[in-house]
Amino acid sequence: MILSEIAVIPIENIKKTLEKKSLMKNFSDNEIKYCSKFKNSYIHFAGKLAAKKASIKILKKISKKTYLPSDMEIMNLSSGRPVIILRKKIENNNLKISLSISHTRDTAVALCSVNV
């Protein structure tokens, strides 16, 4: 069975929250460094947050545990493909979690899926 979850984040919401610095606690130093290197970093922060939110929904279904954005890191391979790095253990470490992130000028969206 394949489980999938999607999350959509309006870019404007990220702009407002990042300006207040309150959202930064949801991102690792590596994520901040990656997103900050782009001219319009808000889009990339929104994409990473959408990936975290979609992943949290999937992990809740699989493990029945609550995860926070700070429990994971969304990194990009050299190919650009996003991957999730969990800081909190899950019962089945053999799960292959797939992520896809996309964005427009106004919205970021992420799809997380796993074969269970």
Cβ burial, residue 110 (10 Å; 0-12/13-18/19+): buried
Q: What is the pLDDT averaged over residues 98-108?
A: 95
Fill in the amino acid letter for 80.
Answer: G
User: Is the confidence at residue 93, as pLDDT, over 80?
Assistant: no
**Angle, CA of 74, 77 and 81, to the nearest 5°:** 75
| Residue 97 pLDDT | 87
Residue 51 has pLDDT above 90, yes or no: yes
**pLDDT at 90 (0 to 100):** 65
Residue 6 has a pLDDT of: 97
Q: Predicted confidence band at 86 (pLDDT cuts at 50, 70, 90)?
A: confident
Which residue ranges form the domains of the chain, and what is each CATH number?
2-115 (3.90.470.20)
